[in-house]
Amino acid sequence: MSATAQPGDTAAQVLGALPPTAAVWCSGLRKRYRRRTAVDDVSFTVGRGEVVGLLGPNGAGKTTVIKMLLGLVRPDAGEVLLLGRPARDPRSRAKVGYLPELFRYQPWLTAAEVLALHVRLAGVSRPVAEQSECLGLVGLADRADDRVGGFSKGMQQRLGLAVALVARPEFVVLDEPTSALDPLGRADVRDLLLSLRERGVAVLLNSHLIGEVERVCDRVVILDKGRIAAAGTLAELLGQRELRLRLDEVGVDAEALLAGAGKLTRDGDAFTLALDDTADVPDLVAELVGLGVRVHAVEPGRISLEERLLDILRTGHTEEHR
């Protein structure tokens, strides 16, 4: 920072040389509704261009956190910087696209009119062609002139996505974007998220479809009862590697060797091994062969995010960064 500033630089030059601030940063967020603590000491960051999943059971506080990040709910404690500004400053939201969990658009407007309205509300101008393209992106190209009142829930959710994206945001917050979508729609959203990531748009995604989150997110934050139960990259959270083997002629020595490399389960000739971090697969295979084992298949695997999430929520804690 100051290392790049030269004597005689203007303030604008110095600011321009600073690294961009995070898409969102929050620290010590807390929110209580009457005597129920909805959010308790939540801190995390979504970096520029990063896709982060916010996971947790119903009532965990995900929507409340999102609303505090966006300045829509006032925290009892804690701080938020949204694209470098305090979240209460409306200017911080100008470059944010948001799909709320619950929403209703004016039923008398057409899909195209809803988009045009939100472009105006965002205080920007976008060519009509770009707005139509945005409707196409969410699969509503042929419904642009139909009234929203006649849309199914899934179609309204698609329109909500278009609204969140139409003003070319730098940060997109999606609160359960696929809850009403059919499998095809979910796949579309996945592609959409991947294309946002390619363009360097930061995304905070709250979804119950964990497989989806696992496919698109760089990092996840897991909330439980208002607190962060675990957070990290997928590699950090799913660190445990698994190996599926099909083996013949496994003697006592070989079985002991396998059991020494990690937690072993056996079903006939199929062995599943939850590998210790230090286990080296090629060495293991060589040693098995040395013990006369016939190796038919060695398949790497990894526990799924879903398994890990259930594990974390059941035990209520996590070994940090394993």
Ligand X SMILES: Nc1ncnc2c1ncn2[C@@H]1O[C@H](COP(=O)(O)OP(=O)(O)O)[C@@H](O)[C@H]1O
Residue 33's binding partner out of ligand X, Mg ion, none, with CB under 5 to 8 Å set by partner kind: ligand X
Count of residues that bind Mg ion according to CB under 5 A: 3
Task: Out of 64, 131, 156, 178, point to the residue binding ligand X (CB under 6 A).
Answer: 64
CB within 8 Å of 307: residues ≥ 6 apart: none
Joined together, the tokens standing for residue 126 give: 């976008």
58 binds, among ligand X, Mg ion, none (CB under 5 to 8 A by kind): ligand X
**Closer to ligand X by Cβ: residue 217 or 261:** 217
The least CB distance from residue 225 to ligand X, in Å, is 9
Relative orientation angle of helices 128-137 and 153-165, to the nearest 10 degrees: 130
The entry of ligand X, Mg ion, none that residue 164 binds, CB within 5 to 8 Å by partner kind: none
| Least spacing, CB of residue 75 vs ligand X, in Å | 12
Are 273 and 202 within 8 A, CB to CB?
Answer: no
Task: Using alpha carbons only, give the angle 3, 6, 8 rounded to the nearest 5 degrees.
Answer: 155
Determine, following the binding rule CB under 6 A, whether residue 35 of this chain makes contact with ligand X: no
Q: Which stretch binds ligand X (CB under 6 A): 51-59, 178-186, 191-199, 291-299?
A: 51-59
> Could you tell me the strand order of the sheet in which 227-233 lies?
96-99, 171-175, 202-206, 51-55, 219-224, 227-233
| Rounded Cα–Cα distance for residues 272 and 132 (Å) | 51
Footprint of ligand X on residues 15-34 (CB under 6 A)? 33
Q: Which does 232 bind (CB under 5 to 8 A by kind): Mg ion, ligand X, none?
A: none
> Within 13 Å and on the Cβ side, how many CA atoms surround 32?
7
Q: Interface with Mg ion by CB under 5 A: which range of 6-14, 93-101, 223-231, 270-278?
A: 93-101
If the CB atoms of residues 53 and 56 are measured against ligand X, the closer one turns out to be 56
Cβ atoms within 10 Å, residue 64: 21
Q: Which stretch binds Mg ion (CB under 5 A): 60-68, 105-113, 142-150, 231-239?
A: 60-68
Edge-to-edge strand list for the sheet holding 294-302: 262-267, 270-275, 241-248, 294-302
CA-to-CA separations, 94 to 86, 97, 128, 203, in angstroms, rounded: 13, 8, 20, 15
Cβ proximity to ligand X: between 67 and 219 the closer is 67
Residues that bind Mg ion (CB under 5 A): 62-63, 101
**Binding residues vs ligand X (CB under 6 A):** 33, 36, 38, 56, 58-64
